[in-house]
A and B are shown apart, each in its own frame.
Chain A
Amino acid sequence: EIVLTQSPGTLSLSPGERATLSCRASQSVSSSYLAWYQQKPGQAPRLLIYGASSRATGIPDRFSGSGSGTDFTLTISRLEPEDFAVYYCQQYGSSFTFGGGTKVEIK
């Protein structure tokens, strides 16, 4: 099973700042089958990024994904108030696993 480790656990930032979230896999993720999801309290997760770097439909361009192999990054270029949430990475190349999540909170 591929284990995904997200860091940091919590990121405290102010609106307008840049957020950089990390997702590290215990083994290489085939074909960059790596996705990112956003979840707000009481809501279902929402797909942000798939294929490591492709934005899902309707996702603003301040969200970007990068990486390959075992190291992946989600970057939010300028945090908007609605971006404070929990973010999960997921690999779907070998069964499915999720990372433990990174909470982006208002500083």
Chain B
Amino acid sequence: EVQLLESGGGLVQPGGSLRLSCAASGFTFSTYAMTWVRQAPGKGLEWVSAISGGGGSTYYADSVRGRFTISRDDSKNTLYLQMNSLRAEDTAVYYCAKRPGYNYGYFDYWGQGTLVTVSS
């Protein structure tokens, strides 16, 4: 059974940093692309970042490029999102999700999310 468990969310001041983690199990983590999606309170879904299987290719939404960094440690079956220079508008539940291919496709399994609140 595929399981994704996010952690690392919390309250941070504007301009601060936070690192999210997503622990994966139930599949061969290294061979699948992964992604982060966020959802501001009461709002819709917004794609944030994606990484290919093996980590050779990374992709970012314009709203976070240059501030966020996606990475993965395949030896630990863990996905990360390093978030720097945080802004109030980054406040959201952050979901990690698995994609069905090495660098392809939709989001077939999702974690339960971790809440990030950016506020002074």
Binding site for B on A (CB under 8 A): 33, 35, 37, 39, 43-47, 50, 56, 88, 90, 92, 95-101
**In the complex, are the beta carbons of A46 and B110 less than 8 A apart?**
yes
Is B47 an interface position by the 8 A CB rule? yes
Q: How many residues of B contact A (CB 8 A)?
A: 20
**In the complex, are the beta carbons of A44 and B113 less than 8 A apart?**
yes
Question: Contacting chain A: which of B68-76, B84-92, B101-109?
Answer: B101-109
Is B80 an interface position by the 8 A CB rule? no
Chain B, Cβ-Cβ closest to A88: B45
B residues within 8 A CB of A101? 44-45
Is B50 an interface position by the 8 A CB rule? yes
**In the complex, are the beta carbons of A50 and B47 less than 8 A apart?**
no
**In the complex, are the beta carbons of A35 and B95 less than 8 A apart?**
no
Is B82 an interface position by the 8 A CB rule? no
Which residues 41-91 of B have a CB within 8 angstroms of A? 44-47, 50, 59, 61
Q: Can you give 27 contacting A-B residue pairs, CB < 8 Å?
A: A33-B105, A35-B107, A37-B45, A43-B112, A44-B111, A45-B37, A45-B45, A45-B95, A45-B107, A45-B110, A46-B110, A47-B106, A47-B107, A47-B108, A47-B109, A50-B105, A50-B106, A50-B108, A88-B44, A92-B105, A92-B106, A95-B61, A96-B35, A96-B50, A98-B44, A98-B45, A100-B44
B residues within 8 A CB of A92? 105-106
**In the complex, are the beta carbons of B106 and A44 less than 8 A apart?**
no
Other-chain contact of B47, A46, A47, A98, A99 (Cβ < 8 Å): A98
A residues within 8 A CB of B112? 43-44
B residues within 8 A CB of A37? 45, 107
A residues within 8 A CB of B108? 47, 50, 56
**In the complex, are the beta carbons of A44 and B44 less than 8 A apart?**
no
**In the complex, are the beta carbons of A44 and B95 less than 8 A apart?**
yes
A90 to B107, CA, bound (A): 10
